[in-house]
Structure 1
Amino acid sequence: MLIKTYGSAVFGVNALTITIEVSISAGTRYHIVGLPDNAIKESLRRIESAIQSAGLRMPRQKIVINLAPADIRKEGSSYDLPIAIGILAASGQLEADKIGDFFIMGELSLDGGLQAIKGALPISIQARQAGFKGFILPRDNSREAAIVNDLTIYGMRNLSDVIGFFNGTEQPAPVVVNTRDEFFNKVSSYAHDFSDVKGQENIKRALEIAAAGGHNLILIGPPGAGKTMLAKRLPTILPPLSLQEALETTKIHSVAGKLNAADSLMTERPFRSPHHTISDIALVGGGANPQPGEISLAHNGVLFLDELPEFKRSVLEVMRQPLEDRNVVISRAKISVEYPASFMLIASMNPCPCGFFNHPEKECTCMPGVVQKYLSKISGPLLDRIDLHVEVTPVDFDELTSTIETEKSSFIRERVISARQVQTERFNADQSIHYNAQMSPNMVRNICKIEESGQVLIKNAMEKLGLSARAYDRILKVSRTIADLAGSKDIALEHLAEAIHYRSLDRSSWSG
């Protein structure tokens, strides 16, 4: 007897319908065809034990399982459940009337329990697009899948629950998530706040500018000056995720298997802070079975690289293209997948190995030339792509112990949102541009026009600091953001001067 069940394979952040065909006939061997990987080839051992744990029998006949389309590589253990249901239906132990109406996915334990799968959200979206009535999957993934409207989601604990559902002896309640309520109730919940930071008003100003225009930023300062503390609070002043952005971000984390069972929709902008020992593949994505890397997990949020010079140079250089294109393409001989990677890069570093170069009180103990060698670990092309270079100085005792309340993140966020609204109206005709940092060189020429006095100022700065054409564009973008925060239609001389000020690493004082 031939039975067809339906599942899905995930490629990048999208899914494809997979038909699982199960045929039982005279014979004694089991066969799985259709380009399965080792996890799928091993599945029959798990399936046999799970079926026996449910009180049913594994057929002792010839079983042929085909995963169609047969020319696409299938990976992972999430095909256990649809294969098991197909075997039970083909052997007459399960009613097959409703099987074709549902996507079925899940990994089986030996006792029949269902383990969580990756990519439940994109699979759920594909199930709706393909016209299926519902999606049966492990309970741990049910809330994640249930944010897709017009699709019935059943979260199951074990194989027995699924068998009971199809035989009509169990009537589980569908999992229902009100996507908009879930989103708007949690969209502004953060554990950190800028009011925790004493002093550092100039750094807060730079972070506000970065947040308003989506600019990349690097913080340079001695140990203990507050670089990490400030960076961790940046998401609290970024505009709230839109519902579309939340869905995009959730899809990526779903594919990577990073969502908790209690999560249905990501409502906070991601903040990713990988260790400096990370590999280039872990950062940008890839592997034998391509998975999203840290830059994609930071999509619509912040990627924080602490102690930037300690990262391997090869790791840092692979970010150059994603920083410009805001996506990353992972190409292999037989497959090419694309992951979005529109993130804000926030980096921090000590000015030298000992950490006290240019310190107002402590003396640097590094040998001559060591500072320049340390800074040269970060290439010029990468620094060019970082809009704001900000020096962080230690907080003095009086500021640290002050009882005066500092500005809360919510107030800064209001100014950032106002500036972003100006940019939204400005780029309304181009759906791919949302804020100033994303402007193309041609848009910079048209939008970031400056007066003759400003031309003289930036010309002198370029000659003195040796700035590149890319750095010139970046200065204009930052000055446009500063003007937006000030509510100014035009870029004034003071806006341009402040933008030039945020090019610390281009100055001769950092030559070592």
Structure 2
Amino acid sequence: MPFATARTVSLHGAVGHLIDVQADVSPGLVGTTLVGRPDASLNEARDRCRMAVINSELPWPSTKRITVLLSPADLHKRGTHFDLAIAVSVLAADDKLPRAGLAATAFIGELTLAGQLRPVTGVLPMVLAAAERGVRRVVVPEPQAQEAAMVPGMSVLGLRSLSQVVAELRGDPVPEAAPVAAMSGSRLLSWRGEERMEALDLADLRGIEDAKYAVEVAAAGGHHLMLSGPKGAGKTSIAERIPSLLPPLSAAESLELTAIHSLAGTLDPATGLMVDPPYAAPHHDASKSALIGGGSGQVRPGEISRCHGGVLFLYDIS
């Protein structure tokens, strides 16, 4: 039967939907058709996958009609992380890969023309969504294996190329491949005062006992707080010490916050789960998009979302 199904995840904001990538390879007018409401970047996957397969010295069914359906078809699909699932489903439909076990695995990763895997944003929320729907194994680009492994009970394969993925699925020895480069959007700049925030404690402040008591009550009950006073009264000094009063995040809160930063492309997998309550003090002239997030196609969380479970300090200079 010239039909196979691989699985991946589509993100709509922070909500993940498990997607069946169904490929049919059969006689007919030669060509590759991608259906299921793909966007422009996903339509380009047809050429990326074809050249990735060929340059990996694997056979592409170039004399047959290839139809790839992204199901459910009513959801709009976007992003380049569908590449790996599309290539695997086409190879399986052409009897070059075993179909058994594909339904229990989620494939996430962008392919280069040389067949190498490239990292993508939002791996953690994708793997979380797959785990919630019963998937217990995921294949991701090697640099993001640590991020995917943050999901409890998930078996993670961090690989470097399509050739390695094919060998793993066939049960063959995994060939060598060049290391995968980190994401191009990796953080390059840091604020030199970040380390200072780690040592702040409300006990450092002298006086203003009433204000400190109000802050302690607000922190204990999870209440909002308005600080009012002239410049130099200590409003910022109090606000940036509130995280020192908060307990570490629970396991569920840590996963939620880490998934948000993964979606925003600001997560450093080497640091593991984010367990400390975050603190953010955006500039008073920050734009609406910077605060609440936005984006066309791929949603990027704003400051409000990135300090989920922590403290957001907004100030008014009027």
Query: What's the CA shift string for 1:97-139, capped at 9, x where partnerless?
Result: 3322211111223333322233333332333333334111122
Partner Cα separation in structure 2 for residue 123 and residue 144 of structure 1: 11
Letter in 2 for 1:9: S
If asked which structure has higher relative contact order (CA below 8 Å, sep 6+), I would say: 2
Out of 187, 191, 197, the residue aligned to residue 198 of structure 2 is 191
Letter in 2 for 1:302: V
Partner Cα separation in structure 2 for residue 252 and residue 262 of structure 1: 16
Partner Cα separation in structure 2 for residue 20 and residue 95 of structure 1: 15
Quote the residue 1:20 is aligned against: 21
Partner Cα separation in structure 2 for residue 196 and residue 47 of structure 1: 58
Quote the residue 1:257 is aligned against: 265
Partner Cα separation in structure 1 for residue 238 and residue 60 of structure 2: 59
Q: TM-score, normalised by structure 1?
A: 0.51
Give 1:212 deviation, angstroms: 2.6
Partner Cα separation in structure 2 for residue 201 and residue 171 of structure 1: 64
Out of 96, 100, 115, the residue aligned to residue 97 of structure 1 is 100
Query: What's the CA shift string for 1:72-101, capped at 9, x where partnerless?
Result: 111111101101111222233333333222
Give 1:227 deviation, angstroms: 4.7
**SS state of the match for residue 262, structure 1?**
helix
Given the superposition, is the C-alpha separation of residues 200 and 22 from structure 1 closer, same or farther in structure 2, using an over 3 Å criterion? Answer: farther
Partner Cα separation in structure 2 for residue 170 and residue 201 of structure 1: 68
Give the root-mean-square deviation of aligned CA atoms: 2.8
Partner Cα separation in structure 2 for residue 41 and residue 277 of structure 1: 39
Paired residues of 1:271 and 1:303 also in contact (CA < 8 A): yes
Given the superposition, is the C-alpha separation of residues 170 and 205 from structure 1 closer, same or farther in structure 2, using an over 3 Å criterion? Answer: farther
Given the superposition, is the C-alpha separation of residues 200 and 139 from structure 1 closer, same or farther in structure 2, using an over 3 Å criterion? Answer: farther
Asked if 1:118 corresponds to 2:132, the answer is no
Matches within 5 A, 1:327-338: none
Given the superposition, is the C-alpha separation of residues 112 and 211 from structure 1 closer, same or farther in structure 2, using an over 3 Å criterion? Answer: same
Letter in 2 for 1:139: E
Partner Cα separation in structure 2 for residue 149 and residue 252 of structure 1: 17
Partner Cα separation in structure 2 for residue 244 and residue 230 of structure 1: 28
Asked if 1:295 corresponds to 2:304, the answer is yes
Query: What's the CA shift string for 1:191-227, capped at 9, x where partnerless?
Result: 222279564644545543432333323354336x665
Partner Cα separation in structure 2 for residue 133 and residue 213 of structure 1: 38
Query: What's the CA shift string for 1:264-312, capped at 9, x where partnerless?
Result: 421111222333443223322334334433212221111123xx34xxx
Asked if 1:109 corresponds to 2:112, the answer is yes
Given the superposition, is the C-alpha separation of residues 46 and 221 from structure 1 closer, same or farther in structure 2, using an over 3 Å criterion? Answer: farther
**SS state of the match for residue 65, structure 1?**
strand
Asked if 1:58 corresponds to 2:60, the answer is yes
Given the superposition, is the C-alpha separation of residues 233 and 132 from structure 1 closer, same or farther in structure 2, using an over 3 Å criterion? Answer: same
Quote the residue 1:211 is aligned against: 219
**SS state of the match for residue 19, structure 2?**
strand
Paired residues of 1:210 and 1:217 also in contact (CA < 8 A): no
Partner Cα separation in structure 1 for residue 120 and residue 311 of structure 2: 26
Paired residues of 2:51 and 2:115 also in contact (CA < 8 A): yes
Quote the residue 2:313 is aligned against: 304
Structure 1: gaps (5+ residues): 173-189, 310-348, 350-373, 375-512
Matches within 5 A, 1:38-53: 38-53=40-55
Give 1:153 deviation, angstroms: 1.5
Asked if 1:5 corresponds to 2:6, the answer is yes
Paired residues of 2:277 and 2:310 also in contact (CA < 8 A): yes
Partner Cα separation in structure 1 for residue 95 and residue 285 of structure 2: 54
Q: Structure 1: which 4+ aligned runs deviate by more than 6 Å?
A: none
Quote the residue 2:145 is aligned against: 142
Query: What's the CA shift string for 1:295-333, capped at 9, x where partnerless?
Result: 12221111123xx34xxxxxxxxxxxxxxxxxxxxxxxx
Paired residues of 1:96 and 1:166 also in contact (CA < 8 A): no
Partner Cα separation in structure 2 for residue 219 and residue 192 of structure 1: 25
Give 1:152 deviation, angstroms: 1.4
Quote the residue 1:314 is aligned against: none
Given the superposition, is the C-alpha separation of residues 201 and 127 from structure 1 closer, same or farther in structure 2, using an over 3 Å criterion? Answer: same
Letter in 1 for 2:169: F
Query: What's the CA shift string for 1:367-393, capped at 9, x where partnerless?
Result: xxxxxxx3xxxxxxxxxxxxxxxxxxx
**SS state of the match for residue 270, structure 2?**
coil
Partner Cα separation in structure 2 for residue 95 and residue 63 of structure 1: 18
Partner Cα separation in structure 1 for residue 117 and residue 271 of structure 2: 18
Matches within 5 A, 1:93-492: 93-170=96-173, 191-194=198-201, 197=204, 199=206, 201-202=208-209, 204-214=212-222, 215-218=224-227, 220-222=229-231, 227-289=235-297, 290-305=299-314, 308-309=315-316, 349=317, 374=318
Q: TM-score, normalised by structure 2?
A: 0.79
Letter in 1 for 2:114: D
Partner Cα separation in structure 2 for residue 105 and residue 49 of structure 1: 18
Paired residues of 1:269 and 1:300 also in contact (CA < 8 A): yes
Percent identical residues: 36
Partner Cα separation in structure 1 for residue 17 and residue 235 of structure 2: 44
Aligned length: 291
Quote the residue 1:81 is aligned against: 84
**SS state of the match for residue 292, structure 1?**
coil
Query: What's the CA shift string for 1:414-469, capped at 9, x where partnerless?
Result: xxxxxxxxxxxxxxxxxxxxxxxxxxxxxxxxxxxxxxxxxxxxxxxxxxxxxxxx
Out of 36, 39, 62, the residue aligned to residue 37 of structure 1 is 39
Paired residues of 1:212 and 1:238 also in contact (CA < 8 A): yes
Give 1:262 deviation, angstroms: 1.7
Give 1:159 deviation, angstroms: 1.8
Out of 71, 75, 80, the residue aligned to residue 72 of structure 1 is 75
Partner Cα separation in structure 1 for residue 11 and residue 251 of structure 2: 22
Partner Cα separation in structure 1 for residue 199 and residue 116 of structure 2: 38
